[in-house]
Amino acid sequence: MTTFTPSLSERKRILKLVCSKHPQWKIRMTVFVILFVLAAAIIVGVAALLIWQHAIPAAVFAFSLTAILLASVPFCFGLGVRNIAKYKCGLPYSGFANGTLLLKDEVLEYTFWHVGRDEPAAYSSRRAVYREGSKFVYSIPKAEITDLSIEDGVCIINGKGRTQMPKGAEDDDAVQACSDSFGFLLAFEQSDAAQKIKQWMG
């Protein structure tokens, strides 16, 4: 049996590639940049005005505080736009976290946690908490795999696979108890995952 353990840095790198191919990625990032520039322009504009007017210390404090408060609005909105873009443009893979791959003699198993947009795990945070009772396990016998492809760090499997879900979980667009197709990121500490999977397939 061969085990591949999760890597946060690889997950971030591959998700960035996945997001960049999404048709909405550039639009969302453009909005983020515009909001960020607007926030910076407010700060710089007020600072330039204070220098030009030779404002007294009390005025400097008051205007600086106002500028920071005003700039925080587009800045915070911009961060929200960026985070939503990272999650939505990376789906379904951005919704799978802490993935571990097991290649048994005749069965492939992928253990992961299905996470939402507001969870730290969706953004590869080291603060994320993974509870044993919340994990999902996708498994498929080698004999049931009709096609397996690996491209840009994403492995897609076609065949009769099953996903063992935690209590209370239901089928959604990303995960079904029984599925004919399933994909996951090769976001592992071991760099030879793609090669080992192909060798396992024979």
Residue 64: per-residue pLDDT:
79
Whether residue 197 is contained in a domain is answered as yes
In 3D space, the residue among 82, 60, 83, 63 whose CA is nearest the CA of residue 71 turns out to be 63
67 within 8 A of 43, measured Cβ to Cβ:
yes
Quick one: pLDDT band at residue 95, thresholds 50, 70, 90?
A: very high
Q: How far apart are CA 198 and CA 84, in angstroms?
A: 34
Are 99 and 195 found together in one domain? Answer: yes
pLDDT > 70 fraction of the chain, expressed in percent and rounded: 97
Contacts of 165 (CB under 8 A, 6+ apart): 136, 175, 177
Averaged pLDDT of the chain: 90
Mean pLDDT of 71-93: 93
pLDDT tens per residue, range 138-184 = 999 999 999 999 999 999 999 999 999 888 777 676 787 788 999 99
Whether residue 18 is contained in a domain is answered as no
pLDDT tens per residue, range 32-73 = 999 999 999 998 988 888 777 776 676 677 777 888 898 899
Mean pLDDT of 104-118: 93
Tell me, what amino acid is at 11? Answer: R
Q: How far apart are CA 32 and CA 195, in angstroms?
A: 38
Domain holding 143: CATH number?
2.30.29
Q: Which domain holds residue 168?
A: 2-12+93-201
Tell me, what amino acid is at 170? Answer: E
Instruction: Give, rounded to a whole angstrom, the gap between the first and last alpha carbons of the chain.
Output: 15
- Rg of the chain on CA atoms, in Å: 23
For the chain, the domain total comes to 2
pTM score: 0.83
Are 102 and 176 found together in one domain? Answer: yes
pLDDT > 90 fraction of the chain, expressed in percent and rounded: 66
Residue 198: per-residue pLDDT:
93
